Amino acid sequence: MGDQSPQFFIDLSRVREREGKYADALSAAEQYVRAMERVGAAPEWARERVALLQKKLADSAAQPAKN
């Protein structure tokens, strides 16, 4: 689906981020960037989103688990 409509991946990334599923959000954002690179070039904002999600994922992994 995403190969035909890369927008799917960015939408999925936003939904997963809202759910707090940062690994899934990052994966979808990376798929968007790859799909956009296949048809030309990925926009800078998409690369910035990947970097932001990488930071959020690292920060969430560094926080102690709540009981």
The three-state secondary structure class of 5 is coil
- Condensed to tens digits (0 to 9), the pLDDT of residues 9-51 reads 999 999 999 999 999 999 999 999 999 999 899 999 999 999 9
| CA dist., res. 22 & res. 58, Å (int) | 9
pTM of the model: 0.86
Cα–chain center distance at 37? 15
Residue 1: pLDDT band (50, 70, 90) is low
Sign of CA dihedral 39, 45, 47, 50: negative
Residue 62: pLDDT band (50, 70, 90) is confident
Which is nearest to 46 in space by CA: 17, 13, 23? Answer: 13
